[in-house]
């Protein structure tokens, strides 16, 4: 099996998962220009595409919906053909850019009893990741996604939080669930949007290692306000510098 690094960002809502995932893609492109990189937007709200300047036309969920409709119409033969072609269908959802590929999941598992289809799609995505050297996943807020396991195997689970007790609580829950599921090889926290040294000193992540603290970065906020692609962010900004150090800590770059 190929040694693909699968890096997932997880944490409370609004703490910077999407921004850091996008900037990770950028740092990977800089560090390994020859590598095959896949960015996966696993948040149904779809934010990573904007951060990476990608236009999404369809998602994995569209593939799933098409299948479910076929089954519900009782077209068994078509459904079988469809499953055989799922790999192709999903590959077809991938947007290729000059430096990386992009896949949006949409809603990975709605309520309903199509578990076999869901796990089949999950397997298909896992198989597909073997075509890449690096996979960066921008997760949905909270622990649900870890529970649902969009991917069977994350190698590097990056827990993102702000300085709040609530944010730290959420990363503990996520870490515990992920650990229980044996989901990752390496993990650690990035404490993002630190406003000053006093706040930094007060943050207590308990038994979770802090990979780095990233300060509030005005240049990053500004790009977000303007809806600009984060790949263009100046490499000397504190957010990129801080993230680079964190990714080195956890052996991603």
Ligand X SMILES: Nc1ncnc2c1ncn2[C@@H]1O[C@H](COP(=O)(O)OP(=O)(O)OP(=O)(O)O)[C@@H](O)[C@H]1O
**Token pair in block for residue 173:** 């829950």
Which is closer to ligand X, CB of 133 or CB of 224? 224
Among 47, 53, 142, 238, binds Mg ion (CB under 5 A): 47
Task: Kindly indicate which of the ranges 44-52, 154-162, 227-235, 245-253 contains the residues binding Mg ion, using the contact rule CB under 5 A.
Answer: 44-52
Task: Kindly indicate which of the ranges 40-48, 123-131, 160-168, 228-236 contains the residues binding Mg ion, using the contact rule CB under 5 A.
Answer: 40-48
Which is closer to ligand X, CB of 70 or CB of 106? 106
Q: Which ranges in 94-237 belong to alpha helices (H)?
A: 115-129, 144-148, 165-180, 197-202, 218-225
DSSP labels for 156-169? EEEEEE-SSHHHHH
Least distance to ligand X, CB of residue 77, Å: 40
CA distance 233 to 253: 19
Least distance to Mg ion, CB of residue 18, Å: 3
Least distance to Mg ion, CB of residue 20, Å: 9
Strands 134-138 and 210-215: unpaired
Beta bridge partner(s), residue 213: 191
Residues that bind ligand X (CB under 6 A): 13-19, 43, 47, 141, 192-193, 214, 216-217, 220-221, 224, 239
- With CB under 5 to 8 Å by kind, the binding choice for 239 among ligand X, Mg ion, none is ligand X
CA distance 216 to 129: 33
CA distance 55 to 58: 9
């Amino acid at each position: 099996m190929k040694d693909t690094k699968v890096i997932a960002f997880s944490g409370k809502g609004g703490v910077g998962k999407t921004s850091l995932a996008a900037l990770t893609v950028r740092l990977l492109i800089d560090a390994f220009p020859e590598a095959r990189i896949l960015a996966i937007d696993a948040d149904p709200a779809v934010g990573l595409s904007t951060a990476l300047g990608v236009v999404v036309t369809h998602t994995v969920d569209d593939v799933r919906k098409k299948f479910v409709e076929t089954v519900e119409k009782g077209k068994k033969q078509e459904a079988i053909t469809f499953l055989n072609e799922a790999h192709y269908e999903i590959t077809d959802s991938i947007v290729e850019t000059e430096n990386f590929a992009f896949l949006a999941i949409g809603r990975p598992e709605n309520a309903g009893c199509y578990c076999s289809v869901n796990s089949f799609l999950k397997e298909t995505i896992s198989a597909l990741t073997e075509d890449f050297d690096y996979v960066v996943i921008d997760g949905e807020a909270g622990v649900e996604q870890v529970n649902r396991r969009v991917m069977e195997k994350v190698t590097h689970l990056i827990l993102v939080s702000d300085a709040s007790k609530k944010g730290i609580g959420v990363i503990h829950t996520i870490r515990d669930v992920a650990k229980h599921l044996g989901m990752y090889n390496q993990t650690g926290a990035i404490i993002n949007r630190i406003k000053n040294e006093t706040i930094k000193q007060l943050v207590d992540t308990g038994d979770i290692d802090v990979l780095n603290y990233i300060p509030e970065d005005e240049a990053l906020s500004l790009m977000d306000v303007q809806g600009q692609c984060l790949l263009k962010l100046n490499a000397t900004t504190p957010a990129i510098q801080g993230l680079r150090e964190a990714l080195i800590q956890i052996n991603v770059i």
